[in-house]
């Protein structure tokens, strides 16, 4: 990913140097396990660790010749470690190193992503509590619908990102898997206890039944979860973008000192951050299809997934980390205009509360916890749980007279023509309807009425037919 949309902490996880360090750790953990099993001389792993160095330039140099990244890596390590390095990689296959290291990188990324996700939840909770009594208009189909509060609006996003957090934790469990099972995954050349030891060292679980690779359905779950989180970010960004429009201006992205809105129109204050997040969400969602298609591999393995993951995995994780961080920045610095919200809603706080009570009385079968919480007006309560719990507090609502339903508009007046009904709107009040006989030979063209010369046309056709018959004779 380009530096513009990257953060240093996440890019370090996906750097080549970080990847080679993980490879070396996996190789040494496997060597330690073999030492305990007695298949490798004791002390071998310590000797290798003390001498081994990661030289990226040398690895690239060897890879150009051998055309194999793992062989190039092991060759470089053996050049520094000397004879003890011959015990590395015994019974292992390249996928054991690559797939386990890949999952370690995903796990490291997930720690950073979860941290940013929790930071965003804190910011959403804070703004929801701050504006829980700030009235604003709710919209459906983009049109003014019913009054609500800005706090309730933000609380809905809070609940959504809570669900995203739970989904993400499940996705982490899916990829927290290690596989050290050798060629075609049947443990023919390596003891299964080596896999258990390496998994324990890495804080992972061993794959239940692996082929030569870790099954890619696990990774599909992970990347699709990132796509869902990205879509939630876009939904929140789209809400802010609409509310920042000039004719609405209920909220606004923070505009720092010296910031410019346009090279041609310096008066503009555009929602550039949320627009940027909308675009990044599209990019992350684009990786869901390759992740799903990676599930299908030939037999025990192929490497059709490899080229996809080398691009997809770093980009998706780096982008979602950047997007969560930016969204947290937008929410924590969001400028809110309660006066504009009141103008849009055309209510003051007391009217809003009475309207909510009236709404609850009219819809007794609706269990609207959020609306009831707004009606309560708990100004001193700083707990957001009533906004997200299913239980409804008991409220005594006074009886409110329900207004009669509005009368329907005047129906269309039918008039017969050729055994059919033609509908016309009813005339305005005070004017009697104009009853005129309908003449099918009259056509209104540009305000003028003319008669169709049907008879003349018929005579012309007859003359033409006669002339044609005479010519044939």
Which residues in 436-449 are b (16+ Cβ under 10 Å) and which e? eeeeeeeeeeeeee
List 141, 256, 263, 299, catalytic entry: 141
Residues 6+ apart with CB under 8 A from 238: 274, 278
Check if 141 is active-site.
yes
List 16, 68, 144, 262, catalytic entry: 262
Annotated catalytic residues are 141, 262
């Amino acid at each position: 990913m380009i530096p513009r949309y990257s953060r240093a902490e996440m890019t370090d996880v996906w750097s080549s140097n970080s990847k080679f360090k993980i490879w070396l750790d996996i190789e040494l953990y496997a060597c330690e396990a073999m030492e305990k099993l007695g298949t490798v001389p004791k002390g071998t792993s310590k000797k290798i660790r003390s001498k081994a160095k990661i030289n990226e330039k040398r690895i690239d140099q060897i890879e150009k010749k051998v055309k194999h990244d793992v062989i190039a890596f092991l060759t470089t390590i053996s050049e520094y470690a000397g004879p003890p390095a011959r015990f590395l990689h015994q019974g292992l296959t390249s996928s054991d190193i690559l797939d386990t290291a890949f999952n370690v990188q995903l796990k490291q990324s997930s720690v950073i992503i979860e941290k940013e996700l929790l930071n965003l939840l804190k910011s959403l909770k804070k703004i929801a509590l701050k504006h829980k009594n700030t009235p604003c208009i709710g919209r459906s189909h983009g049109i003014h619908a019913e009054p609500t509060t800005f706090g309730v609006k933000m609380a809905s996003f809070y609940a959504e990102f809570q669900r995203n957090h739970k989904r993400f934790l499940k996705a982490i469990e899916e990829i927290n898997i290690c596989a050290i099972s050798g060629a075609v995954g049947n443990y023919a050349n390596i003891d299964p206890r080596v896999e258990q030891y390496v998994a324990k060292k890495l804080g992972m679980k061993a794959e239940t039944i692996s082929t030569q690779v870790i099954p890619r359905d696990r990774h599909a779950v992970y990347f699709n979860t990132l796509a869902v989180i990205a879509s939630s970010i876009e939904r929140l960004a789209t809400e802010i973008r609409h509310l920042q429009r000039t004719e609405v201006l209920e909220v606004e992205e923070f505009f720092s000192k010296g910031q410019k809105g346009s090279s041609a129109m310096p008066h503009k204050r555009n929602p550039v951050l949320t627009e940027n997040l909308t675009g990044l969400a599209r990019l992350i969602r684009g990786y869901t299809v390759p992740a799903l298609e990676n599930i299908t591999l030939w037999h025990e393995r192929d490497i059709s997934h490899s080229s996809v993951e080398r691009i997809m995995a770093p980009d998706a994780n780096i982008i979602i980390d950047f997007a969560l961080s930016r969204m947290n920045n937008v929410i924590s610095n969001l400028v809110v205009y309660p006066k504009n919200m009141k103008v849009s809603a055309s209510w003051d706080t007391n009217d809003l509360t009475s309207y909510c009570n009236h709404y609850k009385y009219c819809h007794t079968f609706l269990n609207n916890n959020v609306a009831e919480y707004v009606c309560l007006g708990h100004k001193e309560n700083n707990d957001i749980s009533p906004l997200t719990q299913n239980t409804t507090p008991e409220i005594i609502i006074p009886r409110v007279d329900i207004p009669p339903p509005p009368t329907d508009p005047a129906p269309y007046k039918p008039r017969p023509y050729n055994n059919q009904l033609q509908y016309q709107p009813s005339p305005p009040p005070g004017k009697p309807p104009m009853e005129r006989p309908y003449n099918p030979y009259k056509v209104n063209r540009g305000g003028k009425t003319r008669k169709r010369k049907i008879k003349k046309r018929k005579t012309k056709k007859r003359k033409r037919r006669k002339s044609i018959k005479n010519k044939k004779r």
